[in-house]
Amino acid sequence: MRKIQMVDLGGQYEGIKDQVNSSIATIMETSAFINGPEVYAFQKELEDYLGVKHVIPCANGTDALQIAMMGLGLEPGDEVITADFTFAATVEVIALLQLTPVLVDVYPDTFNIDIAAIEKAITPRTKAIVPVHLFGQCANMDAILALAEKHNLYVIEDNAQAIGANHTFNDGRKQKAGTMGHVGSTSFFPSKNLGCYGDGGAIFTNDDDLAHTLRGIVNHGMYERYHHDVVGVNSRLDSIQAAVLRAKLPKLDEYCNKRREAARKYSSAFNGQEHIIVPKTVNGCEGICETCDCHVFHQYTLRITNGTRDDLVKHLGENGIPCGVYYPIPLHRQKAYADSRFNESDFAVTNQLVNEVISLPMHTELDDEQIALITATVIGFVNS
């Protein structure tokens, strides 16, 4: 059996090697390292794939979020609501722009932001909601868009973990994750579902004016060479990363399906286990079926409910099975984001999840033998 890896980028590379290597060789020969034709071609291809009017490539997913917030003209003191249970980048850029992060709890079954908690947190100073489509599945966008419309708020989708996922609205309409709000962001960090071989990111919007603003911000606030109309940043996707992404994008749906297939096998092996809760998929399809196109399983995350999570992590490690705890500490308890206004009782779910969650190996190259060993090892230990 091949060594089990949390993410197997080497195995995936085998399938795109020729194209990646020849594109990179061409870039070397033409020296078009920044804003070359590969970047523009990738931008167009991603716009087509997502069905969104504008993709603005940038340097990473954290920049993408920051630039989205800058482009919307959010100002110091504006309150931005986001989830307590997510990667810190989301709240980091809110704080960096001197906006006020307002953290709210999540649902215990989907791990996504709790709609009632958002509603409770809205004040006259609230300007935006940042749903994070955590672990590869969209937050409840029907409810979030309705709340935003009612209270005149921007919706900024942090789509770093769910590129390729679909959201099925209550009326049956489908839309790609990251394209439903006023603006969306993603990351092409190597381990993300669409990852390059370094750092990369992108911003999505259907708003022509906002797209124009964002294209200036990523490039030092320039709309005309050496005319700096707004304060910008330097945040570009380089040509080599774009070439890697161009090789992978046509395979993204196939990659997503392989992840779903692995998730389906995991969940069927864990079926009926008393102390294990498998991830819930929404959108009516109950998700982990052959035809599902909602969840893209950036992570496959279990809840271990009998208090053995930490010991399980250790046991898996000792048995050569990598795993991860995403996330071990709620954002509201991180030193950098502590705020006397946060009330522990508002974070009951996140406080529980951080002690229960464990993410198993998830990538496009997992085979049946590996999945059988992983599930048997987990089940054996949790029941011992």
CB of 189 to ligand PLP, least distance (A): 4
Question: Of residues 196-255, which lie at the interface with ligand PLP (CB under 6 A)?
Answer: 199, 201
By CB under 6 A, the count of residues binding ligand PLP is 15
CB of 375 to ligand PLP, least distance (A): 25
Q: Is the CB of 61 or the CB of 361 nearer to ligand PLP?
A: 61
Q: Is the CB of 202 or the CB of 288 nearer to ligand PLP?
A: 202
* CA-based nearest residue to 28, from 40, 42, 43, 38: 38
Contact flag: residue 87 with ligand PLP (CB under 6 A): yes
Burial pattern 175-189, b for ≥16 Cβ within 10 A else e, equals bbbbbbbbbbbbbbb
Both tokens of residue 378? 């987990």
Question: Of residues 148-207, which lie at the interface with ligand PLP (CB under 6 A)?
Answer: 158, 160-161, 187, 189, 199, 201
Distance in angstroms (rounded) separating the CA atoms of residues 266 and 278: 9
Distance in angstroms (rounded) separating the CA atoms of residues 222 and 181: 26
From edge to edge, which strands make up the β-sheet containing 183-187? 54-58, 201-205, 183-187, 154-158, 126-130, 79-83, 100-104
CB of 160 to ligand PLP, least distance (A): 3
Residue 160 in contact with residue 192, Cβ under 8 Å?
yes
Q: Is the CB of 115 or the CB of 132 nearer to ligand PLP?
A: 132
Stretch that binds ligand PLP, among 55-63, 66-74, 262-270, 272-280 (CB under 6 A): 55-63
| Neighbouring residues of 280: CB distance < 8 A, sequence distance ≥ 6 | 109, 110, 287
CB of 199 to ligand PLP, least distance (A): 6
Q: Which of 60, 193, 364, 370 binds ligand PLP (CB under 6 A)?
A: 60
Please count the other Cβ atoms lying within 10 Å of the Cβ belonging to residue 124.
Answer: 6
State the Cα angle at 29 between 23 and 30, rounded to 5°: 90
Q: Is the CB of 22 or the CB of 191 nearer to ligand PLP?
A: 191
Stretch that binds ligand PLP, among 33-41, 68-76, 82-90, 112-120 (CB under 6 A): 82-90
Residue 71 in contact with residue 185, Cβ under 8 Å?
no
CB of 54 to ligand PLP, least distance (A): 19
* Binding-site ranges for ligand PLP (CB under 6 A): 60-62, 86-87, 89-90, 132, 158, 160-161, 187, 189, 199, 201
